[in-house]
Amino acid sequence: MKWNRRKLIDRIMSFLTAACVVVAIIPLLSILYTVTINGISAINLDFLTQLPKPEGEVGGGLGNAIQGTFIVVGIACLIGLPVGILAGVYLSEYGENRFGRMVSFVADVLAGTPSIAAGIFGYTFIVLYFGFSAIAGGAALSVLMIPIVARTTEESLRLVSGSLREASLALGIPRWKTILHIVLSTAMSGIITGALLAIARVSGETAPLLLTAFGNPYWAAGINKPISTMPVQIYTYAIAPFPDWHAKAWGGALVLIILVLILNIGVRFITRKKY
Amino acid sequence: MQNKITVETLNAWFGTNHALKNINLSFQENRITAIIGPSGCGKSTFIRCLNRMHEVVRGAKVSGKVLVDGKDIYERDIDPVDIRRCIGMVFQKPNPFPTMSIYDNVAAGLKLNGMKDKKILDKTVEESLKKAALWDEVKNDLNKSGVSLSGGQQQRLCIARALAVEPEIILFDEPCSALDPISTSRIEDLMIELKEKYTIVIVTHNMQQAARVSDYTAFFLYGELIEFGETNQIFKKPKEKSTEDYIVGRFG
C-alpha cells in the first residue's frame, strides 16, 4: 500500500516536471514558428544585400543593418568580453572580500537593469560629446554585456575544483599561470556559454541603440558615425504603416535569430572539447 | 645517512584552530617516512607545511622552521613557487588536468614555467612516465586525455607529473586512499623504487601500508607528534601508550 502511494507520487511529480518543460518551450517554439512563417517570404538575396528603399518604393533590404549590427556588436565584444571575463576572474580568484562581494552584488543589479538605462548612459557620456556613433552603440551594449559575462565567468571558475589549483601550485607553477592555463581552460566551456548568452542578448537590443547608434539609411561610414543596426531597422520597418515593410520587419527578425543561431553553433564547434 | 628535512618548532593554524603544536622532526635522505594518526590529527596539514601549500588555504598561518638542506623554506626572501618546484606533491584524489592530454599533463610543470624545447620535453615526459611505471601502458596514447585513464593510472600520471619538474623530495598525501588494492600495491612498489633518488614523506591512513613501505614512522595525535622512530620499532615496540593503542586498533 505504502509502496503504491510512493509510486503514485513519483509519477505525478515526474509528470509535473515534464509538463513544466513543455510550458517553458511553448512560447519559444511559437515565436520561432510565427517569425519563420511571416518572415521567410521576405528573405531573398536583395533583402540581405541591398540598402533600404525610401517609403513607397518596392524592394530594398537591410544589408547595411546586418553590416552595422556586426560592427556594433563587435565593438561591444571588444569592450565587454575582456572587461567581463577579467572581472569574473577577479571575483572568483581574488574577490573573497568586501569589495568583491560588493562588485558581485552590483553586477547582479546591473544585469537586471532595463536596457534603456544603458542607452541613457551612452547618450549622456558619449553621444552628448561626440554625437551618435557606432562606438557609442557598442559601448552602451557592452554595459549590458559586462555583468552577464562577469557573473557567468565567476560561476564557471568557482566550479573548477580546488584540487586542480592545488595540483598546479604544487608543481611550482605561479598563481597567475595556474589561473590562466589551468583554471580558465578548464572553465572555458562555461565562460563561452556566458559570452554567447551576452552576445545573443545584446544583438537584439533596440532601446540603447536608438539613443546611441541612432540609425542610418546608408552603408557604414565609420565607427564614429551613426550606423544602422538590425533591431533598430526592424523597429523602423515594424512601426511603419506599410504591409510591405511589416513583412520586412518579420524577415529581419528571422535573419537576426538565424545569425545568433549560427554564431552559437559556430563558436561551439570551434571550441568543442578535444577529448 | 643525512637529514634532508629538519622541522623545528613548527606550529600551524586554521584561523584560531591550532592544528599543529610544536612539531620537531627530521626526515632522512633517500628514505620513506610515513606519518600516521587518526583523522583530524594534523598529518595532512603537516606535510602541506613542508612545501608551503598550507598557506594557500584562507586564514591559514604557520610559524617555526622547515630546513631543507639546512636552508629555512619559510625565510622572508624565499619564493614559495621555487620551494614547490623542488618539493613535489601527490594528492589523495588523482587530479590530472582534465583539459590536457597525457603528454601535456606530464609536461605541464615544465611548459608552464617556460620550457619550449620539444626534445627536452619529449625526453622528460618519457623518462617521468617510465619512472612512474606508466610508460608501457600509455606510450601509444600520449595524446589521449589524462582523465581517460583508470584511477590507478591517473595517480601514476600525477606522480609522473610531479617527477617531471625534477624535485628532490616528494610528498604523498594519502596517495592510495581512492585506489583499489592492485593499484595500491603498484604505487607502493613505485615508492620503494623512487626512494633511491628521492626523499619521500607519505601520509597514510592505512597502518599496514606504513609498515610495508616506510623506513621511519611518525605518529601524530591531536596536532602533536607523539612518537617518531624506525618503522619496525614503532610497530613492534612503541614507547608511548597512545601509539600502541592506535596501532593495535583501540581507537582511530
Q: What angle do CA B58, B60, B61 make, to 5 degrees?
A: 145
Calpha distance B74→B48 (Å, rounded): 13
Specify the pLDDT at position B203: 95
pLDDT at A3 over 80: no
Question: Strands B169-173 and B87-90, how do they pair?
Answer: parallel
CA atoms of A101 and A220, how far apart (whole Å): 42
Put simply, the answer to whether B85 touches A96 (Cβ < 8 Å) is no
pLDDT digits (tens, 9 = 90+) for B199-213: 999 999 888 999 999
Is the distance from CB of A220 to CB of A67 less than 8 angstroms? Answer: yes
Angle at B32 between CA B31 and CA B35, to 5 degrees: 140
A83 touches chain B (CB under 8 A): no
CB B164 within 8 A of CB B124: yes
Architecture (CATH level 2) of domain A43-50+61-271: Orthogonal Bundle (1.10)
State whether residue B78 is helix, strand or coil. Answer: coil
Pick from B8, B12, B28: nearest CA to B20 = B12
Residue with cell 544589408: A63
Say yes or no to pLDDT of B90 above 90: yes
**For residues B136-146, average pLDDT:** 92
Q: Torsion angle, CA of A112/A115/A117/A123, rounded to 10 degrees?
A: 150
Distance CA B150, CA B94 (A): 10
Assigned C-alpha cell, A160: 573548477
What was the pLDDT predicted at A273?
Answer: 67
pTM greater than 0.90 (yes/no):
no
Q: How far apart are CA B154 and CA B97, in angstroms?
A: 10
pLDDT at B8: 93
Which of A96, A188, A275 is nearest residue B58 as measured by Cβ atoms? A96
Q: Is a pLDDT exceeding 60 seen at residue B221?
A: yes
Strand pairing class (B199-203; B169-173): parallel
Residues of A in contact with B148 (CB under 8 A): 275
Q: Within an 8 Å CB–CB cutoff, is residue A94 touching chain B?
A: no
Interface test with B, best of A171, A173, A183, A273 (most B CBs within 10 A): A171
At B11-24, the pLDDT tens digits run 999 989 999 999 99
> Are B208 and B197 a contacting pair, CB within 8 Å?
no
CA-nearest residue to A176 within chain B is: B112
Residues of B near A (Cβ–Cβ under 8 Å) read: 51, 53, 56, 58, 81-86, 88-89, 91, 93, 95-99, 101, 108-109, 112-113, 144-145, 147-148, 158, 161-162, 165
Which of the four pLDDT bands, split at 50, 70 and 90, describes residue A265? confident
To test the contact with chain A by mutation, choose from B90, B97, B169 the residue with the greatest count of A C-beta atoms within 10 A, namely: B97
Confidence of residue B128 (pLDDT cuts 50, 70, 90): very high
Task: Determine contact: A161 vs chain B, CB below 8 A.
Answer: yes
Interchain contact A96–B (C-beta under 8 A): yes
A8-52 pLDDT per residue, tens: 999 999 999 999 999 999 999 999 999 999 999 989 998 899 998
Cα(A156)–Cα(A113) distance, rounded to whole angstroms?
A: 23
What is the total residue count of chain A?
275
CB-count exposure of residue A273 (10 Å: 0-12, 13-18, 19+): exposed
Straight-line distance from the first to the last Cα atom of chain B, in angstroms, rounded to the nearest whole number: 33
Contact B84 A172 (CB under 8 A): yes
Whether the predicted pLDDT of A198 surpasses 70: yes
Distance (Å) from the alpha carbon of B89 to chain A's nearest alpha carbon = 6
Domain boundaries, chain A: 2-41, 43-50+61-271
Joined together, the cell numbers standing for residue A17 give 516536471
Of B93, B101, B112, the CB nearest to A177: B112
Q: How far is the C-alpha of B67 from the C-alpha of B169, rounded, in Å?
A: 13
Query: Which among A163, A164, A173 is the nearest to B112, CB-wise?
Result: A173
- Residue B39: which residues within 8 A CB-CB, separation 6 or more? B205, B252
* B32-36 and B71-72 beta bridge pairing: unpaired
What is the interface pTM, i.e. ipTM, of the complex? 0.89
Q: CB distance A170–B161 less than 8 Å?
A: no
User: Residue A178's closest CA among A94, A82, A81?
Assistant: A94
